[in-house]
Amino acid sequence: MASALYSNGLMSLKEYWKKDLVSGFMVSLIALPLCLGIAVASGVPPMSGLIAAIVGGLFMSRVTGSYVTISGPAAGLIVVNLGAVESLGQGDMLAGYKYALAVFLIAGILQMILGFLKVGKFGDFFPSAAVHGMLAAIGVIIIVKQLFVALDYTPETGKGHGIIGSMIQIPDAFINMNPEIAFIALISIFILVIHPQIKFKPIKLIPAPMLVIICSIPFSHIFDLFHEHDYKLIGQVYHLGPKNLVHLPEKVIEGIVLPDFGMTMTGTFWIAVISITLVASLESLLSAQAVDTLDPYHRKSNLNKDVSAMGAGSALSGLVGGLPMISEIVRSSANISNGGRTQWANFFHGGFLLIFLLIGRPIIEQIPLAALAAMLIHVGFRLASPSEFKHVYEIGKEQLLIFLTTLVTVLATDLIIGVLAGILMQVVIHLYYGAPLKYLFKSRFDYTKDHDQDVIYLQHSAIFSNYISLKSEIESCREQGRLVIDFTHVNLIDHTFRTHLQGLIREWEAEGKQLILANAEHLIPVSDHPLATQVKKDALPVLDQKLTDHQQHLKAIAAQNHWKFLPAKTISFDNFVGFNFGVNSRIVHAQNIVSGKYEGVRLIYSEIIYDQTPETLSPDSQLSALIIKPPKDIPVFLLEREGFFEKVTDLAYREDIDFEAHPVFSDKFLLKGPDEEAVRNFFHPGIIRKIEEYPHFHMESNGEAIILYRFDKADDDESISQLIRFGKILALIS
């Protein structure tokens, strides 16, 4: 019942309830600690975070416009949530919390109205670098704020403005930190950092946030955090007690708090409303779009409906004491990873959180706040990591300037002013590159219709601010099945515009249609990134590309074999789709490609850049791989090292294909595939002997090609040369 995939109703529940139930439970294990931590960081009671996730799951999952997104409170809203509580409460956090609930309620209603007004299309307006800069600034603010919780230090008021004043006090926080609380935070961060590297499957099956909770609760007992007491260490007196633990009301009904509308006539109140409405709407749009790219079934969310649903959820959540919500990308990607199919996974996730809230209070109240702070510091670092800066710089120096402008302005002022500053900087750069002022916000194009295709002839510039007007024209041509966008008379295409077009191309391809970009050869990219801004040749100095020593090595290999070498980055990576390494990862681009034929067999070496953590919006992993494309049919199989856990698992499932005549091979490697007979025929003694000689390589087939890469993912020149040598041997004997 494939049609059930496109339904969030009873039909999909009947078809996929088992998969969605399992995924919903796994996601709830991730959501529980994160919801608690986000609430505490937002200056509201821990239960507020759970209320938002429960409302989002049980109610909004029934009306949302998406398929696999998980709704709930998000780290990206911490800054505006906390700002509302602090500014409205004026030092009284309880009063600020009640006033903030009124803000959440009204902001949710406004967001719901925006969805009805079809503002989903405006998610395409914001420059990519400005959005990334905003997220990086949020990451910095989260790190700074939560660092004080992790060190059990209360910053003094009056020392500088806003987050800058907090940064100034970081050295004091380290000097006067509580060692036991800091130790819990340090252990928690260590677990979060090493969890992705753990290969032992029973541990890997436990979500990292839940593993942090499991490991940190014992320290609540070791350090006796349940009773208030002082202790002395190196002449310093430290205070420990229940304030260092999560606290929930004795009865759930006591956690239901009604909003206070007493500040509605103040400017502070409406500034908070506008901030939360805009940030929540923007984050919901961006998250839903990002999750759509991860959906293995390539379903398209109804963004307007999703924005309205999240607004309604935020209003309902604020009415009963909860935080605002969005379609949250971290939990949504976990839902996809765990096999969630429809919004019933979101529903089940909310149901499990309700059960945890009703019966899990004795355990939840043993969680140290330092562990929650560590999780948020980790999230903040992912948003503002050095790789994020490097990624933006690689797209182009002008993108880094927009990114930094947004980041610094947000830290110095607030989120809205910071994003506006980033947009203004992007406009100034476009004017510098020659974009006509008249067409900054409206596309200029001519349209012709031939008997077999439509053609749009763009004029002047193709930039983020005029993309929306062009997109509506493109969408009107979708039914025709073939559209050409001609750039002959364009003098500027910016990065955001190119990114949007690339997304549309993939959408059209998924529908069996063609969206073709033509005649942009007169434009040159400002960097070697595949989606870099392109300008007229006379707008930038022409720079000769210099090859690195590594690229010179690859060029030499290509020359020796009479193959081609392409050092530039490319977004054409179809050859690498469908293999195991790409599961739950987003391939960003390929680079340093060496390709050619060896004895009639096509070989393609490439360095694949992919993202294992989509919430960061930047790549963090590289894989040096070799594709072998034999001219004959090959079976689907997977060959990997066989560890202790794989041996134990095989006793139960009997997946491993062993060869009695080759005990060493069978002991070292796990070989499996759906057609055992075909796999046995393919792995003849010659191939097995060569694999035993070269035991360092992962080997996998998708039925059309074989991919090879080292188990240790080494990418030094000697390892790459050995990879290509082994590939040539397999090409001869396979």
What DSSP state is assigned to residue 587?
A: E
Neighbours of 653 (CB within 10 A): 8
Alpha carbon separation from 338 to 25, 90, 198, 355 (Å, rounded): 10, 44, 18, 20
- What does 307-371 look like in DSSP terms, one character per residue? HHHHHHHHHHHHHTT----EEEHHHHHHHHHTT--STHHHHHHHHHHHHHHHH-HHHHTT-BHHH
Name residue 76's amino acid.
G
pLDDT band at 283 (very low <50, low <70, confident <90, very high): confident
Distance of alpha carbon 335 from alpha carbon 615, whole angstroms: 13
Distance of alpha carbon 608 from alpha carbon 604, whole angstroms: 12
Name the pairing type of β-strands 637-641 and 669-672: antiparallel
Distance of alpha carbon 287 from alpha carbon 670, whole angstroms: 38
- pLDDT at 54 (0 to 100): 97
Residue 647 pLDDT greater than 90, yes or no: no
Residue 652 pLDDT greater than 50, yes or no: no
Strand partners, 245: 368
HSE at residue 68, side-chain half, CA atoms within 13 A, is 30
Neighbours of 652 (CB within 10 A): 7
Beta strands, E only, 599-696: 601-611, 621-629, 637-641, 669-672
671 Cβ neighbours under 8 A, 6+ residues apart: 637, 638, 639, 656, 657, 658, 679, 683
Instruction: Provide the residue ranges of all domains of the chain, joining segments of one domain with +.
Output: 2-391, 437-539, 549-733
- pLDDT at 85 (0 to 100): 96
Neighbours of 217 (CB within 10 A): 19
Distance of alpha carbon 113 from alpha carbon 275, whole angstroms: 16
C-alpha closest to that of 464 among 435, 486, 421:
435
- pLDDT at 616 (0 to 100): 47
Segment 52-62 shows an average pLDDT of 95
Strand partners, 231: 238
Distance of alpha carbon 671 from alpha carbon 636, whole angstroms: 11
pLDDT band at 540 (very low <50, low <70, confident <90, very high): low
Strand partners, 516: 484
Is the Cβ–Cβ distance between 348 and 57 less than 8 Å? yes
Strand partners, 460: 490
The token pair that represents 197 in the structure block: 């590297």
Distance of alpha carbon 535 from alpha carbon 556, whole angstroms: 32
* Three-class secondary structure of residue 708 per DSSP: strand
Q: If phi over 0 gives left and psi between -120 and 50 gives alpha, with beta otherwise, what is residue 90?
A: left
Segment 671-687 shows an average pLDDT of 91
CATH topology of domain 437-539: Transcription Regulator spoIIAA (3.30.750)
C-alpha closest to that of 627 among 673, 664, 593, 670:
593
Q: Maximum Cα–Cα distance for the chain, whole Å?
A: 87
Model confidence over 227-266: pLDDT tens digits?
776 666 555 665 666 788 999 999 999 999 999 999 999 9
Least confident of 6-20, 165-179, 309-323, 578-592: 578-592
Neighbours of 504 (CB within 10 A): 16
Distance of alpha carbon 308 from alpha carbon 313, whole angstroms: 8
- Name the average pLDDT for the chain: 87
90 Cβ neighbours under 8 A, 6+ residues apart: 96
Least confident of 191-200, 367-376, 401-410: 191-200
Least confident of 291-305, 567-581, 718-732: 567-581
Is the Cβ–Cβ distance between 212 and 371 less than 8 Å? yes
242 Cβ neighbours under 8 A, 6+ residues apart: 225, 226, 227, 228
C-alpha closest to that of 106 among 280, 252, 284:
280
**At CA 653, angle to CA 649 and CA 656, rounded to 5?**
80
Query: Token match 């060493």: residue?
Result: 664
Between 156 and 606, the more confident residue is 606
C-alpha closest to that of 35 among 338, 250, 248:
248
C-alpha closest to that of 64 among 12, 112, 117, 4:
112
Segment 574-585 shows an average pLDDT of 66
Length in residues, the chain: 734
Distance linking the first and last C-alpha atoms of the chain: 39
C-alpha closest to that of 376 among 77, 711, 22:
77
Percent of the chain with pLDDT over 90: 52
Segment 66-92 shows an average pLDDT of 93
The token pair that represents 364 in the structure block: 């939840």
What DSSP state is assigned to residue 466?
A: G
Residue 310 pLDDT greater than 60, yes or no: yes
- pLDDT at 481 (0 to 100): 81
Name residue 44's amino acid.
V
What are the start-end ranges of the H helices in 178-300?
179-194, 201-204, 208-222, 267-294
HSE at residue 486, side-chain half, CA atoms within 13 A, is 11
C-alpha closest to that of 626 among 548, 692, 698:
698
